[in-house]
Structure 1
Amino acid sequence: MDKRVKATLVVLITCLLVAGILYAVIKTGPDPDISDNTTPTPGATSSVTPDPTLPAETPADTPEATEETTPEPVEERPGHLVRTDYENYQPNESGEIPIIMFHRFLEEYDGKDKEYTTTFREFEALLEDLYNRGFRLISMKDFIECNIDVPAGTMPMVFTFDDGTPGQFSLIEENGTLKVNPKSAVGILMAFNEKHPDFGLKGIFYVNMDIGDNTFKGAGTLKDRFEFLLEHGFELGTHTWGHINYKTQAKSAEDVINSLGKNQKAAYGILPDLEFYSLALPYGSLPQSDALKAYLREGTYEDIHYRHQSIMAVGSNPSKPSISPDYNPDYVPRIRSQGMEPVLQDLTWWLPKMTSDRMFVSDGDPSTIVVPEGRKDRVDTSKLNGKTLITY
C-alpha cells in the first residue's frame, strides 16, 4: 500500500478513537441528581436495597440521631444528685437524723454559760466540718414530714436555736437598708451557703415572746427581724412565754396553756399568720403528770388555739426519722452543740459515731423512701404519706 495512504488511515483511526473516548466521558459524567450536599431531600426514599448481611450505617450526628443515655447520677440542680444505683452507695432512709441545739454565739468567750456558748470562729469551723462529713441542712417542717430533699449519699441534719439571742441573728443598718449582721450565726450561715449552696440555708429559732424587742436585739423592728428570717427560708417556733420550767412551775393545766397560748397570741400580734407549729421545751422539762403533758401538744388560750407537731427535748442523741415506728413527736431528742467545755454526748462526742451505717443516707429523691431489704421493718408504711417505699 502506498505510504501516504497508510499514513492517512492511521490519522483517521486515531481521530475515531479520540472521538469515541470523548463521547464516553460526556455520556458517563456526574449524575445531575447527586450533589456534594448529602442532606437528603425531605420525603425522598432510596432506591437501593440494603444488603442484610452488612451492618447498618451509623446515622449522621444530628440531634435526632444522638444516643439516648441517662446519666448516673442525675443532677437535677447544682449540687443536687438523685441516684438509683443503690448497691453502690447504699442509701438508708430509715437511719437517724441529728437535730442540733444552739444557744449563745459570741465573738470571744465571756466566761459565762460554758456548756451553751459558741464563738463565731468555732461555728465557721463546725460548718466546714459538717459539710465535709456529708451533712446537709433541712427544715424542721421537712423533718416532721420526712420530706428529705438533699443530694444522694448525703445525710440530713436540723439546726435549732433557743432563746432568740442577737448572736444567733440580728440586723444592722447600712445606708438606710437593713442587712443581716455578718457577726451572727445567720450571717455566717448565709456566707457559707454562698460558697456551698448545696449545704442548705435552714434552721428554726425558738423564741420567748415575753422579752419583746430584745428578741434578736439589733436594728429594725421585731416584725422586720421575723420577716427577714422567714423570707430567707428559716423558721420560728415557740420556747414558751416566760421560759417556764414545766417540772417545777407547771402545777395546773392553766399554767401550761398560758405559757403556750400567750406566746402564740403575741406572735400573731407581730405577724397574723405566724403559727408556732413546733415547741422547744425550756430546760428539756416536762410537767409531772400525763394529763398536763397533753396540753403541750395542743390547747386553747382565750380565743387562740395552738397545736405543736413536734416537741423538742434537750440533749442527748440523734432522732429517729418521723417514718420510724419508734418516732415520738412528743419528745424529740436533740444534740447540744459543744460549748466552751465538752459535755458527754454533745456534738463533738457524737460526730465520730454518726457514720453512714447508722444515719439517714438520702437517695436524693424526696418522693421515695429507700432502705436495705433487711431494714424495711424500720419504716412505718402508714406514715409514708404518698411516698414510695423501695428496698434493695
Structure 2
Amino acid sequence: MGRLKVVTVGTVVVAVSATMSGCTSGNDDSQGKDPKVAAAVKASAAAAVQANLIKTKTAAAAKVKANELGQVPVLMYHRIVDKPGNQDDRTPEQFRTELERLAAEDYVAVTAAEYVTGRMDIPAGKHPVVLTFDDSSPSQFELDGTGAPKPNTAVAILQDVAQRHPGFRGVGTFYVTRDMFGKTTPEERAQVLLWLVGKGYDIGNHTHDHLSLRGKPEKTVNAEVAKGHRLITSLINAVPVTIALPYGNQPNTKEWALKGTSGDVSYNYGGVFLAGYTPAMSPFNKKFDPLGIPRIRSMDKKGDCARFCSVAWLDWLKANADERYTSDGDAKTVAYPKFKAPFMLMSFAGRSLPY
C-alpha cells in the first residue's frame, strides 16, 4: 500500500512516493526520517534560495546599469613638480584637480594588480580607475622627518584627496627603477617600499635601468626584466604582478616581457602596460590583452592631447557612459547587459551575471 507525499519549499514542490510497511493507525512518522526525502527537501530549499539570490543580484545590477565588460581608464603619471620640464610632468595643482574630478565622477582608485587579476572590489555604480606612476621620482613619494609623505608629492596629494572623499581610495601603482625615489641604500629603499605596500599601494616592475626593450634579443630582454624584478623582491616580501615597459616599447616577441627567466630569477606577470593612449578593456572582456595594456597620459586638451590624453578621455567616458566599466558592487560576479554576452571572457563564465 502506498501514497504520495507532497512537500512544499518556497515556490518549489517536491512529490515523494512513500511505501508503507503495513496498516498503521495513520501516524507515519518514519517518512519524516527518510534520508531521500530529507535530501530532496534540502536540495529544493537550496535551489530556491539560490534562484532568489540571483534574481536579487540581477535586479541590483540592472538598477545601477552595471557594465563590468566596459572600459577602464589607466592613467599614467611621471613627475609632479611646480615647474614642468616636459609634456609628462604635472604640477601639484593639476594633479589634485584631476583626482578631485575622478572622485566627483564616481571613480574609485584600484591598483594595477587588482585590475589585471579581476579583483576590483568597488561599490555598486562606481567606476574603477588605475593610477600608475613611472620612474619612481622623489616628486611622487618622499617621507619627511615625521614619517609622513612630504607635502605636494603625489602620495601626499592622493592621501589628502582620499581623506576628503573616503570612497575614492588612496591607492595606486608605482613602477620603480634603480632610481627608487632618489634613495641609494637598501635600508632607505626598503623603508619607502614597505611604507607604500603597508598603505595598500602596489609596486610594479619598470626594469632596472629603464632601457628600451625594442629590437633586443630574448636573452637581453629577460635579463633587463629579471634585474628589475630582483630589485623589488630583494627589498620587500612582495612579488610584482605587472610590468610597465620603458617608453612603452614592446620587445620583438611580446611574450618575452610577460614571462621569462634569467639566471636564478623567473617572472610571470599578469599584465604588461604600455605608454598610451586609450582606455583599457575590462579584464573580463574578450578584447583584454595582457600583453599590451594601454594607458592614458595625464594632460589637458591641447595639441595631440585634444583627443588622446586624460582630460579628453575622461570627457569621452562621461559622455559615453554605456562604454565605461560600472560595478555591480559584488566582486564575486561579473555583471553586464545581456546583449554584451558575446564579449564575456569564458574563463570568468562562472561569475557571469547578465541582466
TM-score of the superposed pair, with normalisation by structure 2: 0.78
Q: Does 1:85 align with 2:52?
A: no
Q: Secondary structure at the residue paired with 1:197?
A: coil
Distance across 1 between alignment mates of 2:262 and 2:300: 37
Distance across 2 between alignment mates of 1:383 and 1:243: 35
- String of CA shifts for 1:339-365, please: whole Å, max 9, x gaps: 696524000111111032110111111
Of 141, 144, 153, the match for 1:172: 144
Structure 2 residue identity aligned to 1:126: E
Are residues 268 and 87 of structure 1, via their aligned partners in 2, closer, same or farther at CA, if it must alter by over 3 Å?
A: closer
Q: Secondary structure at the residue paired with 2:330?
A: coil
Report how far residue 225 of structure 1 moved.
0.2
Report how far residue 93 of structure 1 moved.
1.1
Distance across 2 between alignment mates of 1:371 and 1:202: 26
Q: Does 1:127 align with 2:91?
A: no
Q: Does 1:345 align with 2:308?
A: yes
Distance across 1 between alignment mates of 2:266 and 2:66: 40
Distance across 2 between alignment mates of 1:294 and 1:101: 22
Distance across 2 between alignment mates of 1:367 and 1:323: 12
Report how far residue 213 of structure 1 moved.
6.5
Distance across 1 between alignment mates of 2:226 and 2:148: 32
Answer whether contact 2:68 2:284 (CA < 8 A) is retained.
no
Distance across 2 between alignment mates of 1:162 and 1:170: 15
> In percent, how many aligned pairs have the same letter?
26
Q: Does 1:264 align with 2:232?
A: no
Distance across 2 between alignment mates of 1:98 and 1:378: 19
Are residues 185 and 83 of structure 1, via their aligned partners in 2, closer, same or farther at CA, if it must alter by over 3 Å?
A: farther
Q: Secondary structure at the residue paired with 2:144?
A: strand
Answer whether contact 1:84 1:363 (CA < 8 A) is retained.
no
Distance across 1 between alignment mates of 2:117 and 2:69: 13
Q: Secondary structure at the residue paired with 2:132?
A: strand
Are residues 324 and 340 of structure 1, via their aligned partners in 2, closer, same or farther at CA, if it must alter by over 3 Å?
A: closer
Distance across 2 between alignment mates of 1:167 and 1:339: 20
Structure 1 residue identity aligned to 2:245: L
1:295 is aligned to: 256
Distance across 2 between alignment mates of 1:302 and 1:237: 20
Q: Secondary structure at the residue paired with 2:247?
A: helix
Of 191, 195, 198, the match for 2:164: 195
Answer whether contact 1:83 1:364 (CA < 8 A) is retained.
no
2:6 is aligned to: none
Answer whether contact 2:175 2:203 (CA < 8 A) is retained.
yes
- String of CA shifts for 1:131-178, please: whole Å, max 9, x gaps: 11121111212211222211211111111100000111111113xxx2
Report how far residue 299 of structure 1 moved.
1.5
Are residues 228 and 340 of structure 1, via their aligned partners in 2, closer, same or farther at CA, if it must alter by over 3 Å?
A: farther
Report how far residue 182 of structure 1 moved.
2.3
Distance across 2 between alignment mates of 1:83 and 1:172: 49
Answer whether contact 1:167 1:184 (CA < 8 A) is retained.
yes
Of 112, 126, 131, the match for 1:159: 131
Of 281, 286, 289, the match for 2:245: 281
Report how far residue 130 of structure 1 moved.
1.1
RMSD: 2.1
Distance across 2 between alignment mates of 1:213 and 1:184: 11
Distance across 1 between alignment mates of 2:59 and 2:150: 41
Distance across 2 between alignment mates of 1:137 and 1:192: 11
- String of CA shifts for 1:304-338, please: whole Å, max 9, x gaps: 11111100011111111111111110000111111
- String of CA shifts for 1:192-215, please: whole Å, max 9, x gaps: 111111101211100112x35725
- String of CA shifts for 1:211-241, please: whole Å, max 9, x gaps: 35725x89x8111100000000001011112
- String of CA shifts for 1:17-57, please: whole Å, max 9, x gaps: xxxxxxxxxxxxxxxxxxxxxxxxxxxxxxxxxxxxxxxxx
Report how far residue 294 of structure 1 moved.
2.7
Q: Secondary structure at the residue paired with 1:130?
A: helix
TM-score of the superposed pair, with normalisation by structure 1: 0.71
- Could you say which structure has the larger radius of gyration? 1
1:246 is aligned to: 213
Structure 2: where are the runs of 5+ without partners? 1-56
Q: Secondary structure at the residue paired with 2:133?
A: strand
How many residues are aligned here?
294
Q: Does 1:96 align with 2:79?
A: no
Structure 1 residue identity aligned to 2:234: G
